[in-house]
A and B are shown apart, each in its own frame.
Chain A
Amino acid sequence: MSKPKIIVIGGGLAGLMTTIKIAELGGAVDLFSVVPVKRSHSVCAQGGINAAKNTKGEGDSVEKHFDDTIYGGDFLANQELPKKMCEAGPSIIDLLDRMGVMFNRTPEGNIDLRRFGGTLYHRTAFAGATTGQQMLYALDEQVRRAETENKVTKYEHWELLSLVFDGQKRARGIVAMNLYTMEVKAFKADAVVLATGGCGMIFGRSTNSTACTGSAASIAYQEGAYYANGEFIQVHPTAIPGEDKLRLMSESARGEGGRVWTYKEGKPWYFLEEWYPKYGNLVPRDVASRAIFKVVKEMGLGVDGKDVVYLDLSHIDSKKLDIKLGGIIEIYEKFIGDDPHKVPMKIFPAVHYSMGGLWIDTNHMTNISGLFAVGECEYQYHGANRLGANSLLSCIFGGTIAGPKALSYAKGLEKSSESDSSSLFDEASQKQISMNEKLLNSNGTENVFKLHEDLGNLMTDNVTVLRYNKNLEKTDQELQKLLERYKNIGLNDKTKNANPVLPFARQLYNMLHLARAITLGALKRNESRGAHYKPDFPDRNDAEFLKTSKVGWSEEGPKLEWEDVDSRWIKPRPRKYT
């Protein structure tokens, strides 16, 4: 059998790590990305990456990291992969260090660690406040090296349109579209790995990049892959409000001593420190976001009566701020015009991360043979709430599993995809070409960008911090109306060169279907756990809902089933950070 061919879709941290592993083990990789991989959303990760290096004499350990992760995730995560991830943490930092990631240093020249939310230890390695960017660049460089050695072929500015399956419903390739020329083409592969990131665009504005539509995950879902725990959408407590984007202000701001406050009776009120004396400003994100919502929405104590509170760094040494938080200070200065060295920043919670995603087994394979998922687009690591700085770790660790597992799956096949009949692929690409033609000829009255705005508002209003069943039922009805309106879209642009509307129209359709899966999970989970909070069901209910939600697509709409959680190592206990 010739060299196994693996298609990796997505060139963020998870996709690149997967690619590096496969190339190293002798597989051939075709790497697809909607943007040059160096511009992937991983660049937006700011604060750092967790690993129990225990270099501060605090007695941190892999076990404590594992416990913080499971406890922080409100016990919803299956424990096997998070456990292995925490165990691998220290060696992953070493690997990144060897690749040249410019981690901040201690006076002795070791990698410095800082504090983050949901833990009492210094456990987070960081490169200023642009750790994701620095890590992505290091992996990008390794992949570029593999490219020069002909182990990897990049397809940048290509977007996934569909998956190709054989008669046994095994993934055998993809159909993709070149975003410059609009060429539609099928590609064969022995296995396909989705590393396509989160779905923040479903909420209109979020901290996510514009490429984070969830479109690829939705394509897999509509082909029969389960979407698991989709209702767990992390709302980050501290982002700068904006009309085009909600710009993240890293949790590391609080890790380095930043304080959250607002005025109460004319005096500064540090409500997180008052309510959670043990963790203070470093409570996990779900807790902090709900606290800010309470202060602003219930108590009406937003600064100047607006939907903002202060995140204050002004008491911290200026030089220290520049070295450790320079990246986010620059963002605040450039986009708002105020200097956080001197004045507190105005922030509000924003949709940030999807804990849920495509269902995968412990080999990172979805329920479809040959289709793998890694990174934010899968669901395995973070349970009901992700701890800050665990995402970068899960992307890298996931890649070290998904890559080798995809390759060994491919090696175990009795015949390579090269021998598959070409008619299978011709038909698959023809189907997508017809869909494009149909869209290009659509002359309805609905504008896709306007529809997207309506989708974002609907989801942000009803499926974020506070969830009510009545509203969730209505949301699903509204989503179905949006799908109806979608049938009446008109593309104002019929051109066939770098058409900016056609790809967006396709993404929007997929976003609408994924939104229904997310909403259904939220509706059916009648409890509060991690990021999922229902005032009408304020407590966690392990008896009924210590379960993974799995949503499968059907013509009649999304269907939900429940799966037991593997809690082998750590038994669920009440979660509080007071």
Chain B
Amino acid sequence: MKTVHFKIKRQLDKNSRPFWEDFEVPYRPGMNVIIALLDIAKNPVTKSGKKTTSIAWDCNCLEEVCGACTMVINGKVRQSCSALVDQLEKPIRLEPMSKFPVVRDLKVDRQFMFDALKRVKAWIPIDGTYDLGPGPKMSDQDQQTGYKLSQCMTCGCCVEVCPQFNDRSEFIGAAALSQVRLFNLHPTGKMQKEERLAAIMGEGGIEDCGNSQNCVKVCPKEIPLTTSIADLNRDTTLFALKKIFQG
């Protein structure tokens, strides 16, 4: 029987030491990393036949729209549902994302990402949910630009590979910045454009971007993150100048 060899980085809680375990699972055509993890859950025994504890990992949609199952696979951050075994070098190495606190094994706490969305006010401040008639018209072209940006799953791939995003910095990361561009291009969102720009001009804001351009290469939704950042750089500069001249 053909099998696939996995090496999985384990860590039972945030304070304990990480360790590696090896697993062997039966190969099936078209299988993904999730199928292998489900196999291991049914029979948590290592390659050398030792019984072990279950592996913890996050997942939900299994079709790469929720962002939950993000991990580092063979050194590359990505969603494990769309990581097909046939396309991966063996043994397959699974590790948790390194930029977030490990909860357990492959499960990390990405609350920072959601908090960053609060900081940049990533929403349209509607007057209320009562019937106020239709929203603003929008061109087909603007819709397509906005739609691309609004597919961000807050998965964290962009910040995992960002050299500026680490314990020593407050940098909010590309995902949150790109959301500022999204809301600032919306016909209603535009009205609070300056508030959002102000929010990314302080510490941890856009100036912390080191322009490594790693983020755009790993975004699973191919969101033009570096274009967003360049765009915002221009907007924040103009905004800063405006503030100077208007006192």
B32 within 8 A of A: yes
Residues of B near A144 (CB, < 8 A) are 114, 117-118, 122-123
Q: Is the CB of A21 within 8 A of B129?
A: yes
Are B60 and A35 in contact, with the CB atoms below 8 A? yes
The answer to whether B150 and A180 touch across the interface, beta carbons within 8 angstroms, is no
Known: A43-B61, A323-B144. A147 touches B118 (CB 8 A): yes
B side interface size, CB within 8 A: 71
A532 within 8 A of B: no
Judge whether A247 and B143 touch: CB under 8 Å: no
Asked if residues A39 and B66 are in contact (CB atoms below 8 Å), the reply is yes
CB neighbors of B among A139-197 (8 A):
141-142, 144-145, 147-148, 180
Given contacts A24-B128, A38-B153, 11 further A-B contacts (CB under 8 A): A35-B58, A102-B146, A105-B138, A109-B140, A142-B126, A144-B117, A144-B123, A244-B81, A447-B43, A492-B54, A500-B54
How many angstroms from the CA of A499 to the CA of B38 in the assembled complex? 15
* CB of B240 within 8 Å of the partner chain: no
CB-CB under 8 A for A244 and B147, given A97-B135, A492-B53: no
**A335 touching B84 in the complex, CB below 8 Å, given contacts A100-B188, A103-B143, A447-B43:** yes
- Does A536 interact with chain B (Cβ within 8 Å)? no
The chain B residues found within 8 Å of chain A, CB to CB, are 12-13, 28, 30-32, 34-35, 38, 41-44, 51, 53-68, 81-82, 84, 103-105, 107, 109-110, 114, 117-118, 121-126, 128-129, 131-135, 137-140, 143-144, 146-147, 150-151, 153-154, 183, 186, 188-189
0/1 string, A505-523, CB within 8 A of B gives 1: 0000000000000000000
CA distance A226 to B107 in the complex (A): 36
Binds B, one of A127-135, A367-375, A379-387: A127-135
Quick check: is A443 within 8 A (CB to CB) of the other chain? Answer: no
Is A102 a contact of B133 with CB atoms below 8 Å? no
Cα distance, A499 to B107, chains bound together (Å)? 11
Contact A498 B143 (CB under 8 A): no
Q: In the complex, how many angstroms separate the beta carbon of A524 from the nearest chain B beta carbon? A: 34
B-contact bits for A92-121, CB 8 A (1 contact / 0 none): 001101111011111111100000000000
- A493 at interface, CB cutoff 8 A: yes
- Chain A neighbourhood of B117, CB < 8 A: 141, 144
With contact pairs A24-B129, A99-B124, A144-B123 given, residues A449 and B67 touching in the complex (Cβ less than 8 Å): no
Q: Is residue A576 contacting chain B, with contact meaning CB distance below 8 A?
A: no
- The 3 nearest A-B residue pairs measured at CB: A97-B135, A109-B137, A141-B123
Which residues of chain B come closer than 8 Å to A39, judged between CB atoms? 60-61, 66-68, 153
Partner of B147 from A108, A127, A248 at Cβ < 8 Å: A127
* Across-interface contacts of A108 in B (CB, < 8 A): 137
**Cα A567 to Cα B42 with chains together (Å):** 48
B124 touches A109 (CB 8 A): no
Is residue A210 within 8 Å, beta carbon to beta carbon, of the partner chain? yes
| A105 and B143 alpha carbons, distance in the complex (Å) | 7
Chain A residues with CB under 8 Å of B140's CB are 104-107, 109
Contact B131 A94 (CB under 8 A): yes
Query: Which residues does chain B contribute within 8 Å of A499, judged by CB atoms?
Result: 54, 56
Min CB gap A80→B, angstroms: 20
| Smallest Cβ-Cβ distance to A399: which chain B residue | B129
Question: If the complex has contacts A105-B140, A133-B151, are A209 and B134 also in contact, measured as CB distance less than 8 A?
Answer: no
Residue from A103, A107, A210, A337 whose CB has the most chain B CB atoms within 10 Å: A210
B43, B51, B61: most-surrounded residue (chain A CB, <10 A): B61
- Check A245 against B62 for contact (C-beta < 8 Å): yes
6 contacts between A and B (CB under 8 A): A36-B114, A95-B126, A104-B147, A243-B31, A447-B43, A498-B105
Q: Provide the residues of chain A in CB contact with B59, threshold 8 Å.
A: 210
Residues in B neighbouring A95, C-beta threshold 8 A:
126, 129, 131
Nearest CB of A to B49, in Å: 14
**When the two chains form their complex, are residues A100 and B124 in contact, meaning their CB atoms are under 8 A apart?**
yes
Query: Which B residues are CB-close (under 8 A) to A145?
Result: 121, 123, 125
CB distance from B156 to the nearest CB of A (A): 11
Beta-carbon contact of A142 and B54 below 8 Å: no
Task: Answer yes or no: A501 CB below 8 A from chain B CBs.
Answer: yes
CB of A86 closer than 8 Å to a CB of B: no
Chain B residues, Cβ within 8 Å of A335: 30, 32, 63, 82, 84
User: CB < 8 Å: which of B43, B66, B81, B147 contacts A43?
Assistant: B66
Complex interface bits, A237-262 against B, C-beta within 8 A gives 1, otherwise 0:
00000111101100000000000000
Choice from A38, A106, A210, A495 contacting B62 with Cβ under 8 Å: A210
CA distance A381 to B117 in the complex (A): 34
- Beta-carbon nearest neighbor of A35 in chain B: B60
For residue A337, which residues in chain B have a CB less than 8 angstroms away from its CB? 84
Contacts of A210 in B (CB 8 A): 59-60, 62
**Cβ–Cβ < 8 Å partners of B132 in chain A:** 94, 98
Question: Judging by beta carbons under 8 Å apart, are B107 and A498 in contact?
Answer: yes
List of A residues within 8 angstroms of B186 by Cβ? 100
A207 to chain B, nearest CB (A): 9
Say how far A30's CB is from chain B's closest CB, in angstroms. 17
A453 within 8 A of B: yes
Closest chain-A Cβ to B159's Cβ sits at a distance in Å of: 16
Of A102, A134, A141, A493, the contact of B122 (CB 8 Å cutoff): A141
Q: Are B137 and A142 in contact (CB under 8 A)?
A: no
Closest approach, in angstroms, between the C-beta of A133 and any C-beta of chain B? 5
Contact (Cβ within 8 A) B30 A242: yes
Chain A neighbourhood of B28, CB < 8 A: 243
Report if A41 contacts B (CB, 8 A): yes
* Contact A211 B123, beta carbon cutoff 8 Å: no
Q: Which residues of A contact B129 (CB under 8 A)?
A: 20-21, 24, 95, 400
Interface residues in A425-481 by Cβ distance below 8 A to B read: 447, 449-450, 453
Q: Which residues of A contact B58 (CB under 8 A)?
A: 35
What is the bound-complex CA distance between A44 and B42, given in angstroms?
Answer: 26
Query: When chains A and B are docked, how far (Å) is the Cα of A495 from the Cα of B14?
Result: 13
B109 neighbours in A (Cβ, 8 Å): 180
User: Which of B103, B147, B188 is A102 in contact with, Cβ under 8 Å?
Assistant: B147
- Min CB distance B132 to A, Å, is 7
- The verdict on A137 contacting chain B, using a C-beta distance below 8 Å, is yes
Chain A residue contacts of B146, Cβ below 8 A? 102
A148 adjacent to B118 (CB under 8 Å): yes
**Residues of chain A contacted by B35 (CB below 8 angstroms):** 243-244
Q: Distance in Å from the Cβ of A161 to the closest Cβ of chain B?
A: 19
